[in-house]
A and B are shown apart, each in its own frame.
Chain A
Amino acid sequence: QVQLQESGPGLVKPSETLSLTCSVSGGSTSPYYWSWIRQTPGMGLEWIGNVYYSGRTKYNPSLRSRITISVDTSKNQFSLQMSSVTAADTAVYYCARESGYCGDGSCPIDYWGQGTLVTVSS
């Protein structure tokens, strides 16, 4: 059974960089897409971006200028970096695996991490 676990600081100061890692167990990072999604009470669920096991990335245009997603297949991990954060970036961040019959947007999610709350505050 594939399991995903997010890790990283729960508190980030405004204007700094948010960094999260997702560790994958019970399966390999290849040949899948790996994504980051966040959830806030106000905005609901928002797809941030994904990375293919080869390293190819897709980013939500609304966040593209501030995010970097990367994969480390040797460690079975992938990561999210979001720069210049503000209070609006306070959210529960989920990592997820995409697998199956894909559309142009992305592929359907089959596994989710448990989520991690990141608060942006000084």
Chain B
Amino acid sequence: DIQMTQSPSSLSASVGDRVTITCRASQGISNHLAWFQQKPGKAPKSLISAAFTLQSGVPSKFSGSGSGTDFTLTISSLQPEDFATYYCQQYNSFPPTFGGGTKVEI
């Protein structure tokens, strides 16, 4: 299985900060990468697919980049509602696998 490694595992930030989360795949996955946001006690919410394509309704403050093995999720200006845990997932190779998550805290 492809291992997905996210860094950092947690970070502290302030409202208005620009935040970048990294996801690294153990082997190349082209651009078959998705990002999700999860708040405590809630289901994940889909943010991005194909490494950089925003899901419908997702604000443009979220952006994704990367290809191959290294990917990033950037939140341009952190707002109170953005404090959550973020996960990446590869769907290039079978079975699909998820990263361990990055918790964004105040």
Contacts and interface: CB of A to CB of B under 8 A. Distances in A.
Interface residues of A, number: 25
B49 A108 contact: yes
Given A105-B32, A106-B91, A113 B100 contact: no
A100 B50 contact: yes
Contacts of A102: 91
Contacts of A108: 32, 34, 46, 49-50, 91
Contacts of A60: 95
Interface string A91-115: 0001000001111111111111111
Interface in A69-105: 94, 100-105
A112 B95 contact: no
A114 B95 contact: no
B90 interface: yes
A104 to B, nearest CB: 6
Interface size class on chain B is 20 to 34
B96 interface: yes
B101 to A, nearest CB: 7
Given A44-B101, A105-B32, A106-B96, A112 B89 contact: no
A11 interface: no
Interface in B13-63: 29-30, 32, 34, 36, 42-46, 49-50, 53, 55-56
Contact of A104 (B42, B45, B94, B100): B94
Given A47-B89, A105-B95, A109-B34, 13 more contacts: A44-B87, A45-B87, A45-B98, A102-B91, A104-B94, A106-B94, A106-B96, A109-B36, A109-B89, A110-B56, A112-B43, A114-B42, A114-B43
